[in-house]
Amino acid sequence: MKHRVFLVHGTWGRSETAWYHSSSAPTSFQAKLKAALARKGIRPEDVVFVPFEWKGENTHADRLEAAASLASKLVEQRTQDADTRFHFVAHSHGGNVVLKAIEIYLNDLAWVDVPQLIDTRDIVEVSLEFLRDHAAGKYRLHSDKELNRLVGRLADTLEVIDQRRNKRLRIGIADGSIWDLERSALRHILGRLFTHVYSLPEHHRIGTIVTLGTPFYEKRWTLGAAERGVNWLFHRMFFLPAVAGPTYFCIIVLGALAAATPWVSWIGFNPLNWPWLLLAIGGLASLWFAYSFAKLDTPELPRDTNVYFDEAVIPYYVHVVEPIKLCRVLNVHASYLDEAYCVLSAYPLLSVAITKRLANIVRPRFWEFKRPSPDVGFWRLSPPALMRRKLKELARIAIAITKAIAYPVRLAAHAASARYLARRIAIDLRVFGYGLPPDESHRRSSVSVENVLRKPYFETHVLDLGRVLSVLPPSAVDPSRFAFLWNDDDLVKRVQDSILVRGIDHAPTSEECRKLVALEERVREFFGVVGLRHSMYYDNDVVINAVAEFLAGDVPTV
């Protein structure tokens, strides 16, 4: 069996000399991985590395564009080589590109072959052949109620067609074409059945996925308190009169018109003759109807930016593959030692801490007076120098008194500017970290990230390299530098000296403290001009050997 391994770089990782390119040097990623695979019994000639390049910009739109390009490449490779298994090794945001590409690939896969089968051959013949192959056990499909129901529908439709012989139910179209209803029904059923067929690995060809330091697999949006309050105001206070008023008005008008016709025998139905109590009951009923209708409307969160393998796009396929697992996935990460995930997970706390520190620096004081220093020189005690210094002192006193009088206004302006500053910092960090579209960056909502792919239809394995990467330079100078990640006692000591932790308004949890302390270490590394651990995955022999073990079918451990 041939193995085609797609190597996908991450954000800002595109380069002619990057790790995913082939190189004759024995220290290159491809050379080391081939050697490791050879030790696992996989011949080098059976492995083909396919570098996949994309723009590499930190935007959601560029990742979607790259995913569509990779999905089309998978379809093309699948039709060219009938005995190739696809594997993926992706770094950073390249893992998100791969997941989205697989989603697009699976969504289009069945309809790549089904139209060819139907358009080039008679659909009745294809349907009969499928039933014969399924009965003979050619397809190792997971039997469930849905599959049995589809097979029964296909057999029933074929029986109806056979009873009518060649007299199919057809409808003429204006352009002269004929719409065959039974052919359309068979096409729909075959599409669903071939979805079951393509859930098998020998058809979709997806073998393993290895993600190296992918910062997030899911982004869960949560509305903030302000957003929920505005939503309640508009969906209740505004929606109620907007719906109840027209509803009740229509009831009265229709009742009056009905009473005016000769077909209505009871004159008491005329709303114009109703007493005020019935009018009030009708109004309350309309108001209750409007309120019940308003509760059904929920606020819309950002779409298409929070999930890179979205079940909503291929719900039927996900239902089919869940019992048998789509493919094997290895999530290689180092938790908060990875700069990308550390920033993404800590940015809500980081924005609060930065805003508080900056706000305290520029916070106005009630009395701001500083005595002028004496002039430097031989004649600093001369009458002109003393007079000039007294005038400066009087001017500063006048300015201080003016500032003290205007202190309430200054304090209000500072509070407003601090709120604006907090919002701007949160927006900038969100745009930088998540690559959100501009029209969603202003939303007052929070995002939580997940650095492990937790999906029931993936056979997911996790490899935490925290202890491995923690001893890399410059950590070799201080082996206990990152001990706070797994040692609570060390965490307590580090929190006492943490500037970011002191900038949090509330009492942070231990997990939040780890995020902020780890972020401080990331900043020290960044300004220390040392290798960032987010870029050490594909240079680390432990990682390469783990990837080789997983591609060979084993589960690596460290």
pLDDT in tens, 62-96: 999 999 999 999 988 887 877 889 999 999 999 99
Report CA torsion sign: 123, 126, 130, 132.
positive
- For residue 2 the two structure tokens come to 């041939």
Asked whether residue 530 carries a pLDDT value surpassing 70, the answer given is no
What amino acid is encoded at 394 in this protein?
L
Q: What whole-number distance in Å separates Cα of residue 444 and Cα of residue 429?
A: 13
User: Do 97 and 107 meet the contact criterion of CB atoms below 8 Å apart?
Assistant: no
| 255 and 210 belong to one structural domain | no
In a domain? residue 392: yes
Q: At what angle do helices 60-80 and 94-120 cross, to 10 degrees?
A: 40
| 42 and 79 belong to one structural domain | yes
Structural domain span for residue 140: 2-217+308-332
In a domain? residue 320: yes
What per-residue confidence (pLDDT) applies to 196?
A: 84
Asked whether residue 403 carries a pLDDT value surpassing 80, the answer given is yes
C-alpha R_g of the chain: 34
**Mean pLDDT on 24-29:** 86
Instruction: State residue 541 phi and psi, 5-degree precision.
Output: -65, -35
What amino acid is encoded at 376 in this protein?
V
In a domain? residue 90: yes
More confident position, 506 or 179: 506
More confident position, 321 or 41: 41
Torsion angle of the four alpha carbons 103, 109, 110, 114, in this order, in degrees rounded to the nearest 10: 160
| 182 and 315 belong to one structural domain | yes
Cis bond leading into 474, ω under 30°?
yes
| 152 and 259 belong to one structural domain | no
What per-residue confidence (pLDDT) applies to 35?
A: 93
In a domain? residue 45: yes
| 143 and 18 belong to one structural domain | yes
In a domain? residue 66: yes
| 208 and 286 belong to one structural domain | no
Give the other-Cβ count within 10 Å of 500's Cβ. Answer: 24
pTM over 0.75: no
In a domain? residue 162: yes
What per-residue confidence (pLDDT) applies to 358?
A: 64
Instruction: Name the burial class of residue 123, with classes exposed (0-12), middle (13-18) and buried (19+) by CB atoms within 10 angstroms of its CB.
Output: buried
Helices (H), 87-238: 94-120, 123-135, 145-164, 181-197, 201-204, 225-232
In a domain? residue 505: yes
Residue whose C-alpha is closest to residue 189's, from 145, 144, 158, 164 = 158
Paired with 171 in beta bridges are: 179
| 288 and 385 belong to one structural domain | no
| 15 and 86 belong to one structural domain | yes
Alpha-carbon distance values, 544 to 19, 33, 36, 522 (Å): 12, 6, 8, 24
Asked whether residue 216 carries a pLDDT value surpassing 80, the answer given is yes
The region of weakest confidence among 239-243, 267-271, 412-416, 482-486 is: 267-271
| 436 and 503 belong to one structural domain | no
| 397 and 431 belong to one structural domain | yes
| Average per-residue pLDDT for the chain | 78
Paired with 86 in beta bridges are: 4, 206
What per-residue confidence (pLDDT) applies to 88?
A: 97
In a domain? residue 252: yes
Q: What whole-number distance in Å separates Cα of residue 548 and Cα of residue 49?
A: 13
What per-residue confidence (pLDDT) applies to 94?
A: 95
How many structural domains is the chain composed of? 4
Q: What whole-number distance in Å separates Cα of residue 520 and Cα of residue 227?
A: 31
| 264 and 412 belong to one structural domain | no
What per-residue confidence (pLDDT) applies to 529?
A: 47
User: Do 32 and 118 meet the contact criterion of CB atoms below 8 Å apart?
Assistant: no
More confident position, 424 or 43: 43
**Mean pLDDT on 491-516:** 83
| 154 and 209 belong to one structural domain | yes
